[in-house]
A and B are shown apart, each in its own frame.
Chain A
Amino acid sequence: MVLCTFQGKECGAMIYKVITKAEFKRFIGSLVRDNSSFGPHQVGSDCKGNAVYQFLPVTSLEDIAFDYSATASSAKHFFLPFREELSRFVFHDEDWEQQISYDSSPIVLIGLRPCDISALNILDDVLLNGHFPSPYYLAKRKNTFVVGMDHLPLPDCFCKSMNHHIVSTGFNLFCSDIGEEYYLSINSSKAFNFLKEFDTRDPLDEDNWKLVERRKLISNSFVAEIDVTGLPSILDIEFDSPVWEKWGNKCLNCGSCAMVCPTCYCYSVEESFETNLKSAVRQKRLYSCNLVDFAEVAGGHNFRPKNGDRLKYRYYHQHRGFAENANQQICVGCNRCGRACLSGINPKDVINDLRMDGGRGLVAANGSALWRKQLLQLNP
């Protein structure tokens, strides 16, 4: 059967199945045995006793923490490596040749949350659907088999505010936990064919109700909330707000927020000789707009020498959007940046602070509009 709406969003040619948890594990077990696979893995516990998870290579079911909370780092680097060779230049005699390779080995990514998959969809918009599609990204994206899994939100998850707690595209397979079984949304022929060898069944009405209940439960479990209505405008109005300096003063300029973020894609490019001087490489490296020399140019001038300005532009990119991503917000609400920030800078507090300050700004803006209206009435 096909639902008309899937998770409140548009439906594609999705196929739905139900699989027991035991059979699902058998399926994942065979998937990780035969493919280079990555999934949530517990790397240790923090000093408060909370488990710490990361997406790491997994070769058996035992490696995978199916009931994990959230990974500290996102899955971004599987698509945008922290360092990536863009091209190699080989010199011979008086000539040279450029070697470019988009090769990417196929991988399986298990356990991505809806926000993580939404992040990939946003990266698709920027890196595939824009004016300059990236073949490097495309190769990795097309060669990755994404298995999504839903979860109950953590107290600081605010993806619902960003409308990314649900996802209807961007994965091969998505599992919703409906108790003893998983409700599978199959979004690719590859996933469908893989699953043929395993025991699944068509969903019954009862399963659909369970799915609806599960989504209701997830949706009602959010604690953190950010009011994003009119946020792009507020950001524009509050360009000179003292809020930026206040939070900027806390910023360590360490770039951790951007490194763990699932959508921060800004990078620097370095070209360097190999030690034998017979070849050179052009390397891309993920960067952060919070790093001190992000806006430094040749000659040494730095366009954004202040912490607060750099922080502001990160929030602009995340919550107002840049032209290259069609002015869409790129934050998915996973709060990895908030958890990673040693200084306690997090979107919820910064934006709420800005809205409080923004209240005053909006009054001022409305005031001036009123004044203009009165002026027009005086001089029709």
Chain B
Amino acid sequence: MKYQGFSFNKLKIASFDFTCCEGCQLQLANRESSLTDFFELLDIRNFREISSEQHNDYDIALIEGSVSRQDEVERLEAIRRQATTLVAFGTCACFGGVNSLKNKFPLKESVTEVYPCMLIETSPIRKISEIVKVDLFIPGCPVNKEEVERIVVSLVTGSLVFLPKYPVCVECKAQINTCLFELGEICLGPITRAGCNSVCTTGKTPCLGCRGPAEEINMAAFLALVTERGLSQDDLREKMAFYNAFEGFTNYEA
């Protein structure tokens, strides 16, 4: 690919799923209007959702899901050895995701609850960065395809890869939404990283923080406003724990 005297190479990319729903990978095949242009930028070496061909000479590895078994650890380490850029792709990979709820219960209890008559090998949920070094985080449940496209274009053209540093409120206000706190709900929008175009809050569903904390969030002020409004501390704790994305902020006295 050559434009304006610059030549760009396609990204040799592979996509792998771990403990997850594979919904983030599916986003790669979404947004049909630019799908052919998007795939023009990629040399897909390994991606089971769209091709049965498998090659192991990729540079960029998208890792979807969290880690819940020993064989996943070994597979992830092998991918790390091959990939020059390893991407934690989606909320499960970045933070542990919904799967992490399992960690709140004794392991045995959760296994017998879900698989009453089966012997299942499972370990507590770990996010990708607990196992291997992660070069790039793309959060979201699921990831926002538009953002993925922007990041892929940046990787191809060698320009700066960035995520918004500000919280969801900026995007929510631009949608002329009514603040969910005004409707008596707890919404994690003020502390969650933007980039989703406030899709949940625009649908009047409070933000559960799938994209993780925005930069330099003011947790003290956020907790104070929840308390001052007399909103449920249980609801707050449940929302903050939902994606395990506010792990570092949960040691608070609310």
**Chain A interfacial positions (CB closer than 8 Å to B):** 43-44, 46-47, 52, 54-56, 72-73, 77, 82-83, 91, 94, 96, 249-256, 259-260, 272-278, 286, 288, 291-293, 307, 340, 342-344
- Tell me the bound Cα distance from A291 to B222 in angstroms: 15
A291 to chain B: closest CB distance in Å?
Answer: 4
Which residues of chain A are within 8 angstroms of B1 by Cβ–Cβ distance? Answer: 277
Contact present for A292 and B153 (CB under 8 Å): no
Find the A residue at minimum CB distance from B36.
A276
A265 to chain B: closest CB distance in Å?
Answer: 14
- Tell me the bound Cα distance from A273 to B41 in angstroms: 12
Among residues 138 to 172 in chain B, which have CB atoms less than 8 Å away from a CB atom of chain A?
149-150, 152-153, 156-157, 165-167, 169-170
Q: List 6 A-B contacts (CB under 8 A).
A: A252-B221, A253-B166, A254-B166, A276-B37, A277-B37, A291-B166
**Chain B interfacial positions (CB closer than 8 Å to A):** 1, 3-5, 8, 34, 37-38, 40-41, 149-150, 152-153, 156-157, 165-167, 169-170, 173-174, 176, 178-179, 181-184, 189-191, 214-218, 220-222, 224-225, 228
Contact present for B176 and A73 (CB under 8 Å): yes
Contact present for A253 and B217 (CB under 8 Å): yes
- Tell me the bound Cα distance from A260 to B218 in angstroms: 21
Contact present for A91 and B4 (CB under 8 Å): yes
Q: Is the interface of A mostly helix, strand, loop or mixed?
A: loop
Which residues of chain B are within 8 angstroms of A254 by Cβ–Cβ distance? Answer: 166-167, 169-170, 189-190
Which residues of chain B are within 8 angstroms of A286 by Cβ–Cβ distance? Answer: 174
- Tell me the bound Cα distance from A294 to B163 in angstroms: 14
Contact present for B3 and A278 (CB under 8 Å): yes
What 6 A-B pairs are tightest by C-beta distance, nearest first? A47-B184, A259-B173, A82-B174, A254-B169, A276-B37, A46-B182
Given A82-B174, A275-B34, A277-B3, the answer on whether A47 and B166 have CB atoms closer than 8 Å is no
Which residues of chain A are within 8 angstroms of B38 by Cβ–Cβ distance? Answer: 275
User: A252-B225, A253-B218 provided; 15 other pairs, C-beta below 8 A?
Assistant: A73-B176, A83-B174, A91-B4, A249-B218, A252-B167, A275-B153, A276-B40, A277-B37, A277-B41, A277-B153, A277-B157, A292-B166, A342-B181, A342-B190, A343-B225
Contact present for B153 and A288 (CB under 8 Å): no
A201 to chain B: closest CB distance in Å?
Answer: 38
Across the interface, B218 reaches (CB within 8 A) one of A46, A288, A307, namely A307
Which residues of chain A are within 8 angstroms of B218 by Cβ–Cβ distance? Answer: 249-253, 307
Given A256-B169, A277-B8, A292-B165, the answer on whether A251 and B221 have CB atoms closer than 8 Å is yes
Centre residue among B34, B38, B178, B224 by max chain A CB count within 10 A: B178
Contact present for A96 and B176 (CB under 8 Å): no
Contact present for A252 and B190 (CB under 8 Å): yes
Contact present for A293 and B165 (CB under 8 Å): yes
Find the B residue at minimum CB distance from A255.
B170
Centre residue among A44, A54, A272, A276 by max chain B CB count within 10 A: A276
- Tell me the bound Cα distance from A260 to B189 in angstroms: 16
- Tell me the bound Cα distance from A343 to B191 in angstroms: 13
Which residues of chain A are within 8 angstroms of B183 by Cβ–Cβ distance? Answer: 44, 46-47
Which residues of chain B are within 8 angstroms of A94 by Cβ–Cβ distance? Answer: 4-5
B84 to chain A: closest CB distance in Å?
Answer: 22
Which residues of chain A are within 8 angstroms of B228 by Cβ–Cβ distance? Answer: 344
Find the B residue at minimum CB distance from A52.
B178
Which residues of chain A are within 8 angstroms of B153 by Cβ–Cβ distance? Answer: 272-273, 275, 277
- Tell me the bound Cα distance from A44 to B184 in angstroms: 13
Contact present for A259 and B167 (CB under 8 Å): no
Which residues of chain A are within 8 angstroms of B191 by Cβ–Cβ distance? Answer: 252
Contact present for A275 and B190 (CB under 8 Å): no
Contact present for B157 and A260 (CB under 8 Å): no
Which residues of chain B are within 8 angstroms of A91 by Cβ–Cβ distance? Answer: 3-4
- Tell me the bound Cα distance from A94 to B7 in angstroms: 12
Given A254-B167, A275-B34, the answer on whether A340 and B217 have CB atoms closer than 8 Å is no
Find the B residue at minimum CB distance from A71.
B176
Find the B residue at minimum CB distance from A250.
B221
Contact present for A343 and B224 (CB under 8 Å): yes
- Tell me the bound Cα distance from A52 to B182 in angstroms: 9
Which residues of chain A are within 8 angstroms of B34 by Cβ–Cβ distance? Answer: 275-276
B244 to chain A: closest CB distance in Å?
Answer: 22
Contact present for B179 and A342 (CB under 8 Å): yes
Find the B residue at minimum CB distance from A298.
B160
- Tell me the bound Cα distance from A55 to B176 in angstroms: 9
- Tell me the bound Cα distance from A179 to B63 in angstroms: 67
Which residues of chain A are within 8 angstroms of B165 by Cβ–Cβ distance? Answer: 291-293
Which residues of chain A are within 8 angstroms of B41 by Cβ–Cβ distance? Answer: 275, 277
Contact present for B4 and A340 (CB under 8 Å): no
Which residues of chain B are within 8 angstroms of A307 by Cβ–Cβ distance? Answer: 218
Given A252-B191, A259-B174, A343-B221, the answer on whether A292 and B214 have CB atoms closer than 8 Å is yes
